[in-house]
A = this chain, B = another copy of it.
Amino acid sequence: MLAENNEAELREFCVTLHPSRTADFMDGLTPGEAWQILKHAERSRASEIFGFFDHDFQKQIIETQDREEIALLIAELSSDDRVDLLSDVDEDIKEDLLKRLPVDERRDIMRLSQYPEGTAGSIMATEFMKLPETLTIGEAIREIGKQSEHVETIYYVYIVDDEGHLRGVVSARQLLAGLRNPLTKLSEIMETALISANAQEDQADVVKKVARMDLLAIPVVDDENHIVGIITHDDVIDVVREEAQDDLVRSAAVEPLEDTYLNTSILTFSYKRGLWLLVLFLGSLMTATALQSYDRHLEAWAWLVPFIPMIISTGGNSGNQSATLIIAALVHGEVTVKDWLRVIVREFIMGILLGFKLGFVGYLIVLFFFPSVPGFPQVLIVPLTLVMVILTGTITGATLPLFFKFLGLDPALMSNPFVAGIVDILGIIIYLTIAGFFLPSPFSS
């Protein structure tokens, strides 16, 4: 279509499909080609389609296409999206674009840019319906009809007093149901038991509130209770997904990324991964130190060596299972620090159950498949170690995230590799100690 420059078809393409579908179909075009197509749509439609492009593709279009036209598009984008986008655009281009924007838009962008990443303010939009409490239902509906194109949602209308303090909320549902009494004042029907967020609040907390209360949008206020923005359901879903991804990545001892996997430079990765890998590596040297003391007496102990990896990996796995279960339960509020005793008792029983299960299997395997292992009672060393190591794993794995939470830290910092690292060292010590009961001590010889 683009090659033929078929105007009618291009316009049709921008209008008939859902904007997100149109955006999907344009995948693979160059920024210039995409921009050519968007010019065939009405400006509001073009900005909708543009909103569904990848963040990077948006950035490329902005940095390469005609500045004057781009400024018109930016004026049309929703306030939260454009702040997000401009923060990644080349500084000179951003300056140039800001100059071309109407003064209201420019101020809005500057104000929103001031909220630090991760706060409610940084994800809120400033296009919301705000009406004085003295209006009637009839007047309010006329007002909504006028403003509806410029706001993110008309489904909640926020009611303010003369100084802009948030007083209440009226839903579009209430307004429609109240159409029979158009002269009723908004102050009479508004809901005053209102949930709001402070602009400086952590976005993760705000999202939890919205999810808990099944809200469509939450108003954001400053310290004096002036309404300054709203966060809508779609932003909430984005944050929930983002936080979940961070939790997952952190569980493998990687610092959460600011960008997508493919857009993160290898050097950034090498830093975000290397640091923790090095810390874990230095920690694991303790196992080497522990084992080294047995070095000179390996004759009687030699048959123990092949089981070392198996023992520490089994301990690490049981520790990871417990830690991840507890972290997931803490994140979702299913478990709180108050439940610590219950959690530890459960994990203790779990450790015993799993330990004896695997210990028994281990006993049979050692007995039948490893002829190098001496007979009774030494044959018990590996199975007993398995029981103890699995138990250590479940208890360590459950305790550490709870302890971190108790200290006010993020329990997800107690990632799998850390738990595994600690259980590794304990596992080696347990193995050597149990072996010491059954074998001549390396120190006594």
Contacts and interface: CB of A to CB of B under 8 A. Distances in A.
Report which residue of A252, A287, A298 has the largest number of chain B beta carbons within 10 angstroms of its beta carbon.
A252
Contacts of A260: 329, 332, 334-335
A234 to B, nearest CB: 4
Contacts of A238: 211
Interface in A80-95: none
Give the number of copies in the complex: 2
Report which residue of A215, A240, A325 has the largest number of chain B beta carbons within 10 angstroms of its beta carbon.
A325
Contact of A417 (B194, B317, B421): B317
A148 B251 CA distance: 45
Interface string A294-313: 01001000110111111011
Contacts of A342: 262
B424 A313 contact: yes
Interface stretch (A29-37, A64-72, A275-283, A435-443): A275-283
Contacts of A248: 244, 247-248, 251, 324, 327-328, 331
Interface of A: 16-18, 20-21, 52, 141, 144-145, 148-149, 154-155, 172-173, 175-177, 179-180, 193-195, 210-216, 233-234, 236-238, 240-241, 244-245, 247-249, 251-254, 257, 260-262, 266, 269-270, 273-274, 276-278, 280-282, 284-285, 287-292, 295, 298, 302-303, 305-310, 312-314, 316-318, 320-321, 323-329, 331-332, 334-335, 339, 342-343, 346, 349-350, 353-354, 357-358, 361-362, 365, 369-370, 372, 390, 416-417, 420-421, 424, 428
Contacts of A141: 176, 179
A253 B372 contact: no
B195 A176 contact: no
B309 A312 contact: yes
Contacts of A21: 193, 195
B309 A288 contact: yes
A310 B298 contact: no
A324 B236 CA distance: 24
A245 B332 contact: yes
A145 B370 contact: no
A288 B262 contact: no
Contact of A233 (B237, B328, B372): B237
Given A177-B145, A269-B350, A346-B266, A292 B314 contact: no
Nearest to A242: B332
4 tightest Cβ-Cβ pairs between the two chains A and B? A244-B244, A252-B324, A291-B306, A261-B329
9 contacts: A148-B173, A154-B173, A247-B248, A251-B252, A261-B334, A262-B339, A277-B317, A281-B317, A287-B309
